[in-house]
Amino acid sequence: MFNIKTMNKIAAVGLNRLPADNFTVSDSAENEDGILVRSAKLHDYSFPASLLAIARAGAGTNNIPVDKCAEAGIVVFNTPGANANAVKELVLCGLLLASRDIAGGIAWVKDQAKTEGVDVAAAVEKGKSAFVGPELYRKTLGVVGLGAIGALVANIGLNMGMDVYGYDPFLSVDAALRLDRHVKVVKDVNELYRNSDYITLHVPANANTKGSVNAAAIANMKDGVRIVNMARGELVNDADMLAALQSGKVARYVTDFPNNTVTLADGVVPTPHLGASTPESEDNCAVMAADELRDYLENGNIRNSVNYPSVAMDRSGVQRLCVFHKNIPNMLASITAALSADGVNVENMTNKSKGEYAYTMLDLGTPAAEAALAHIRAIDGVIRIRVI
């Protein structure tokens, strides 16, 4: 029986994927085997020794100490693509908000209606010119990051009649196949900056991307560029963005990550982190997170982990041994030698690495004795083992 702790409200359709005959699920669970989380911050959370995995119902994992988990052999999952359509739709809305002063116009019309003696219909006809803006059609859209969301945004930009540039230094084969062939994929982000009337961000916030939209980057953009950020607030240097808005270099900045610095500035359109806030997205993320967690806890398979490689294998043999270890030479030989010395036959095995960490699964013909398991635990570089 696996004990699962929920750190946020997780959609019931996802929790229902964890059958009661093998899982107990509670927000008050202790000594948990797994955690299901959305936005709760876990950096100061004391992980119990029993914890095997954390599944984030969403794409970003900034609220989870990913490196600390890797060092402890705790797998961190996310749900890439589960909320992609919801974010894509909000980006489309963001492009329109960036182009025409729709938000300002709505607020102005409501103010007219609140003013005694004002004929709203007449006031609208007289004052609407203050809120005009250009069409998206035949403008150029730059998409920074071409993952699950970015690819959808690039394709819908084409459908809107826009010329589309895309940039992603880590573009995968799968992502490339999702892109329409008319998207101009460039190798230098500055080429995208120079050509784009609208720029939308779709990259994670990490050491390489935080603050990457700064004064130097903005200087390479067109005058009057319009920027949409539905990815992460940390991607943009707030002080540099405010300066660019004040000078007119940036015409408008739409952000789904408002804060005290930018929210009230002229030219900023803040939305309250609505990117994945649809019932469909929440259901998709919950189902995907629960399925990943269940498959790992029951079978040792890892899919969509941010700190360990994706490794999956059909079950065979009578026992499965899962070994987390550093990605260093002679690990496989040391593990199999320990099993061989115990007379255990390895029927099937798979191994993959991700950066400095690796994961090995072995299906055994006979159960390994505790002495053999202790031998493997003692191998220099082994982080954790599981027996299933």
Strand 382-387: give its sheet, edge to edge: 346-354, 357-364, 319-326, 382-387
Pair (259, 122) in one structural domain? yes
Pair (66, 89) in one structural domain? no
Pair (244, 206) in one structural domain? yes
Q: Report the Cα–Cα distance between both ends of the chain, in Å, rounded.
A: 12
Kindly report, residue by residue over 310-332, the tens digit of the pLDDT.
Answer: 999 999 999 999 999 999 999 99
Determine the average pLDDT of the residues in 177-195: 96
What does pLDDT average to over the chain?
96
Crossing angle of helices 102-114 and 84-99, rounded to 10°: 70
Please count the other Cβ atoms lying within 10 Å of the Cβ belonging to residue 44: 6
| 173: confidence class by pLDDT, cuts 50, 70, 90 | confident
Residues whose CB is less than 8 angstroms from the CB of residue 98 and which lie 6 or more positions away in sequence, other chains included: 198, 226, 227, 228, 251, 252, 253, 254, 269
Last residue of a domain, one of 287, 308, 329: 308
Three-state SS for 335?
helix
Please count the other Cβ atoms lying within 10 Å of the Cβ belonging to residue 129: 7
Kindly report, residue by residue over 255-278, the tens digit of the pLDDT.
Answer: 999 999 999 999 999 999 999 899
Residues whose CB is less than 8 angstroms from the CB of residue 275 and which lie 6 or more positions away in sequence, other chains included: 83, 86, 87, 90, 230, 256
| Partners of 348 in beta bridges | 363
Kindly report, residue by residue over 216-266, the tens digit of the pLDDT.
Answer: 999 999 999 999 999 999 999 999 999 999 999 999 999 999 999 999 999
Pair (47, 194) in one structural domain? no
What's 145's DSSP letter? Answer: -
Pair (364, 265) in one structural domain? no
| Partners of 195 in beta bridges | none
Flag the least confident range among 49-53, 171-175, 348-352. Answer: 171-175
Pair (144, 255) in one structural domain? yes
Last residue of a domain, one of 260, 287, 308: 308
Pair (154, 209) in one structural domain? yes
- Reference 268, options 98, 96, 130; nearest CA is 98
Strand 198-201 and strand 140-144: pairing? parallel
Tokens 């930009």, located at residue: 157
CB 168 within 8 A of CB 145: yes
Pair (79, 153) in one structural domain? no
Pair (205, 78) in one structural domain? no
Query: Containing domain of residue 63, as a range?
Result: 1-83+277-308
d(CA 342, CA 263): 65
Last residue of a domain, one of 247, 270, 293: 270
Kindly report, residue by residue over 83-124, the tens digit of the pLDDT.
Answer: 999 999 999 999 999 999 999 999 999 999 999 999 999 999
Any idea what the CATH number is for the domain that residue 346 is in?
Answer: 3.30.70.260
Pair (138, 191) in one structural domain? yes
- Reference 145, options 126, 123, 172, 124; nearest CA is 172
Q: Residue 174: its pLDDT value, please?
A: 82
Any idea what the CATH number is for the domain that residue 167 is in?
Answer: 3.40.50.720
Pair (290, 388) in one structural domain? no
Q: Residue 60: its pLDDT value, please?
A: 84
Three-state SS for 85?
helix
Total domain count, the chain: 3
Pair (75, 100) in one structural domain? no
pLDDT at residue 175 tops 90? no
Q: State the burial class of residue 90 (Cβ atoms within 10 Å of its Cβ: 0-12, 13-18, 19+).
A: buried
CA 212 to chain centre: 18
**% of residues, the chain, pLDDT over 70:** 100
Determine the average pLDDT of the residues in 367-387: 96
pLDDT at residue 172 tops 90? no
